[in-house]
Amino acid sequence: MAEHNELGKTGEEIAAEFLRSNGYTILDQCWRSGYLELDIIAVHQDILVIVEVKTRRNIFHGHPDDTISRKKLNQLYEAADRYIENKKMTLEVRYDLITIFYYGQEWVVEHIPDAFYPFMS
């Protein structure tokens, strides 16, 4: 597996553990439908939470959330629609972002609830 794929997988595991420790129930990780993917799907306080995870070893080339394009957002919304339809979900939906980067000797996790709205794209 390529190094960037390993880094992404590590970040998604860190993010999932962070969410669990904050009362979220993880429904799926790395869910795919064709070319579309959702990093983490969780439920928290009766809300379906779609979580995009961005991981970097450092921030020399920009903060992890700087890498989210309009195209990526559109794919995120399309993937979420497919997931909701496939699983016949009826919960309210929220889109969160978790950024993770290595700082000093530890991973730093930043959770941004309601980071995206479908009409933003």
| Sign of the torsion formed by the C-alpha atoms of 23, 25, 6 and 59 | negative
Domain range holding 107?
3-67+92-120
* Tens-digit pLDDT profile for residues 38-86: 999 999 999 999 999 998 875 655 555 566 888 999 999 999 999 999 9
According to DSSP, residue 60 is labeled T
d(CA 29, CA 85): 17
% of the chain residues with pLDDT over 90 = 66
In total, how many domains does the chain have?
A: 1
Which two three-digit tokens encode residue 51? 């979580």
Residue 83 within any structural domain of the chain? no
Query: Would the pLDDT of 118 be above 90?
Result: no
Q: Quick check: is 75 in a domain?
A: no
Structure tokens at 40: 């983490």
Output the domain CATH number for residue 43.
3.40.1350.10
Q: Label residue 6 by pLDDT band (50, 70, 90).
A: confident
Q: Angle 62-14-49 (CA atoms, 0-180°, nearest 5)?
A: 90
- The alpha carbon of 72 is separated from its chain's Cα centroid by a whole number of angstroms, namely 12
Confidence class for position 121, pLDDT limits 50, 70, 90: very low
What pTM value is reported for the model? Answer: 0.87
Residue 73 belongs to a domain: no
